Amino acid sequence: MSIATVALVSIGAHPASGRARRAEQDARAVELGLELAGDNLHVLHAGNPHEPALRAYLGMGLDELHVLEQPDGADVVPVLRDYIREAGVQLVLTGSQAETGEGSGMLPYLLAEQLGWPLLVGVAQIESIHSGVAQVLQALPRGQRRRLQVRLPFVITVDNAAPKARQSAYGPATRGLINADVVEVTVDELSTTGVLQPAKPRPKRLKVIKAKSAADRMKAATAKAAGGSGQVLKGVSAEEGAQAILKLLIEEGVVR
Task: Report the 3 state secondary structure along 7-32.
Answer: EECCEEECCCCCCEEECHHHHHHHHH
Average pLDDT, the chain: 87
Alpha carbons 162 and 144: distance in angstroms, whole number: 13
What pTM did the predictor assign? 0.74
What pLDDT shows up at residue 34?
95
Contacts of 38 (CB under 8 A, 6+ apart): none
Dump pLDDT digits (tens) for 210-244.
Answer: 667 777 777 766 665 555 556 778 888 889 888 88
* Per-residue pLDDT at 179 exceeds 50: yes
Alpha carbons 69 and 145: distance in angstroms, whole number: 38
CATH number of the structural domain 5-193:
3.40.50.620
Using only C-alpha atoms, the chain has a radius of gyration, in whole angstroms, of 24
More confident residue, 87 or 251: 87
Q: What percent of the chain has pLDDT over 90?
A: 59
More confident residue, 249 or 176: 176
Q: What is the enclosing helix (H) or strand (E) of 162?
A: none
Q: pLDDT tier at 207 (50, 70, 90 boundaries)? A: low
What pLDDT shows up at residue 1?
40
What pLDDT shows up at residue 206?
64
What pLDDT shows up at residue 250?
84
- What is the Cβ-side half-sphere exposure of residue 2, based on CA atoms within 13 angstroms? 1
Beta strand spans in the chain (E): 5-8, 11-13, 20-22, 42-47, 64-69, 91-95, 119-130, 133-139, 145-151, 154-158, 177-182
What percent of the chain is helix, strand and coil (3-state, nearest 5)? 30, 25, 40
* Per-residue pLDDT at 3 exceeds 70: no
Alpha carbons 78 and 110: distance in angstroms, whole number: 10
What pLDDT shows up at residue 235?
83
Q: What are the backbone angles phi and psi of residue 163, rounded to the nearest 5°?
A: -55, 140
Pairing label, strands 64-69, 42-47: parallel
Closest CA to 26 of 84, 75, 96, 76: 96
What pLDDT shows up at residue 36?
92
**Annotated domain spans of the chain:** 5-193, 200-256
Alpha carbons 20 and 12: distance in angstroms, whole number: 6
Q: What percent of the chain has pLDDT over 70?
A: 88
Closest CA to 168 of 60, 88, 17: 60
Q: pLDDT tier at 104 (50, 70, 90 boundaries)? A: confident
What pLDDT shows up at residue 2?
45
The strand pairing partners of 149, in sequence order, are 135
SS3 47: strand
